[in-house]
């Protein structure tokens, strides 16, 4: 009797175990074998003035990792994300890069989405040999060719063009508007510098004058008195919004044109009604102009914005979501090449594999040139409508490769 009762209990326990097992996801490899994992890092501002950048990009990175892991991982490895906030502060950027470097499972990173913080953290990545994919930064010196990389001891890749490409596009646009002179309002960023240098480089007779700082007490009078009908702006989103608002308030009705900073939500929020008609160029299209070529899990056509909202609990993607998503896949594909070539991922192996990037993604063919930049990324032109909503007006390839 006791043996029969024991067998019944054993049978019930076995049924319970089988039922429980049926509710669990299938093992990615053989039963009892745990899939190895590697980590990639993300550093961006999650607090402070630029906190929208961090929350724009982190959901896109998570979305790419979820797709890769759901499809079985990358070359047999699961990939985890380690994210840190740098507050758009250079000192904090260095500290967070060093935290990433201290994790032996971390093989690569994406960041920091601002010029000063990315530049400040480079030495920390170089000391640890961590390859960095750097979107949304335009200073040429951040990559600056093979000699720069050999000296620093790390692979730093810019996922986008340097400032010179954007400057040339803006100066060509000046001619397309029928003007030969534009004022430049700049806070000393790389795009403003490239605009001033680009005048002598292009065959057009464009003239950039006057060149003023929005912090100078007499900048508005200098622009208004010059008689220019176009203002080129290289300033932070808030400063740019204040600038166009002041110009419109003073009765100036010319064309206000800028670069990717004007895509930030802070620009339209500060500019208010003055944002209407403003034109900007960016290598990063808003979500309504891009879609997945193929969903990696279901094989069906999928809208990028809808997939992003599914990860972000309904928050729509912003201007940097698409490039963060592509940056993640660039790293994942480099990870796969490294494992296939060497059997296991390493920081140095992934850094070298990044140079062989040939990704046909939703932003086009991504490759890196001799300056470690995606120099021939397509450029997108947007114009704000009367309600302050950016609407795409055209797309073109850069006129020059750098």
Mean pLDDT of 240-269: 97
Please work out, in degrees rounded to the nearest 5, the angle formed at the alpha carbon of residue 339 by the alpha carbons of 334 and 344. Answer: 125
**Tally of CB atoms within 10 A around 385:** 12
The more confident residue out of 177 and 71 is 71
Whole-number Cα distances in Å, 175 to 8, 119, 182, 205: 87, 33, 10, 9
Q: Is the peptide bond before 210 cis (omega within 30 degrees of 0)?
A: yes
Whether 233 and 134 share a structural domain: no
Neighbour-count burial for 101-113, b at 16+ CB within 10 Å, e otherwise: beeeebbbbbbbb
If pLDDT is split at 50, 70 and 90, which confidence band does 294 have? very low
Q: How many domains does the chain have?
A: 2
CATH code of the domain covering residue 253 = 3.40.50.2300
pLDDT for 15? 39
- Name the E strands within 261-368: 279-282, 359-361, 364-366
In a domain, 195, yes or no: yes
Least confidently predicted of 23-27, 57-61, 305-309: 23-27
Give the pLDDT mean for 96-101. 98
| Inside any domain, residue 339 | yes
In a domain, 9, yes or no: no
Measured distance CA(244)–CA(24) in Å, rounded: 57
Residue 118 domain-assigned? yes
d(CA 197, CA 268): 28
Does residue 330 sit within a domain?
yes
Whether 167 has a pLDDT exceeding 80, the answer reads yes
Q: pLDDT digit string (tens) for 107-142?
A: 999 999 999 999 999 999 999 999 999 999 999 988
β-bridge mates for residue 85, sequence order = 44
pLDDT category at 11 given cuts 50, 70, 90 is very low
For the beta sheet containing 230-234, the strands, ordered from the edge strand earlier in sequence to the opposite edge, are 207-212, 181-186, 230-234, 255-258, 279-282, 379-384, 390-396
Could you tell me the residue range of the domain that residue 192 belongs to? 164-282+380-396
Beta bridge partners of 390: 384
């Amino acid at each position: 009797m006791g043996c029969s009762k024991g067998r019944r209990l054993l049978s019930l326990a076995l049924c319970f175990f089988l039922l429980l097992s049926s509710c669990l996801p299938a093992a990615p490899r053989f039963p009892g074998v745990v899939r190895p994992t590697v980590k990639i890092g993300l550093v961006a501002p999650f607090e402070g003035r630029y906190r929208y950048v961090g929350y724009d990009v982190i959901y896109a990175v998570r979305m790419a990792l979820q797709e890769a892991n759901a499809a079985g991982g990358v070359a047999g490895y699961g990939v985890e994300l380690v994210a840190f906030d740098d507050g758009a502060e250079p000192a904090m950027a260095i500290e967070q890069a060093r935290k990433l470097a201290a994790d032996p499972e971390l093989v690569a990173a994406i960041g920091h989405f601002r010029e000063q913080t990315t530049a400040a953290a480079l030495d920390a990545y170089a000391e640890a040999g961590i390859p960095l994919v750097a979107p949304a930064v335009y200073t040429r010196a951040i990559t600056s060719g093979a000699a720069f990389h050999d000296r620093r001891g790390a692979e730093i890749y810019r996922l986008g063009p340097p400032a010179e490409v954007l400057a040339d596009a803006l100066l060509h646009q000046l001619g397309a508007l029928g003007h030969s002179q534009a004022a430049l309002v700049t806070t000393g960023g790389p795009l403003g510098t490239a605009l001033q240098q680009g005048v002598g480089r292009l065959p057009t007779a464009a003239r950039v004058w006057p060149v003023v700082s929005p912090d100078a007490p007499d900048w508005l009078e200098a622009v208004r008195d010059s008689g220019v009908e176009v203002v080129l702006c290289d300033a932070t989103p808030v400063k740019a919004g204040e600038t166009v608002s002041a110009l419109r308030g003073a009765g100036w009705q010319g064309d206000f044109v800028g670069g990717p900073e004007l895509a930030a939500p802070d620009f339209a929020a500060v500019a208010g009604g003055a944002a209407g008609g403003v034109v900007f160029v960016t290598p990063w299209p808003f979500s309504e102009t891009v879609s997945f070529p193929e969903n990696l899990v279901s094989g069906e056509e999928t809208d990028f914005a809808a997939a992003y909202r599914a990860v972000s609990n309904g928050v729509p993607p912003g201007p940097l979501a698409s490039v963060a998503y592509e940056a993640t896949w660039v790293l994942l594909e480099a990870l796969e090449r490294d494992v296939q070539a060497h059997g296991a991922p390493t920081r140095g192996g992934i850094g070298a594999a990044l140079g062989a990037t040939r990704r046909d993604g939703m932003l086009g063919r991504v490759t890196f040139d001799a300056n470690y930049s995606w120099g021939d990324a397509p450029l997108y032109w947007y114009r704000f409508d009367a309600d302050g909503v950016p609407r795409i007006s055209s797309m073109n390839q850069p006129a020059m490769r750098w």
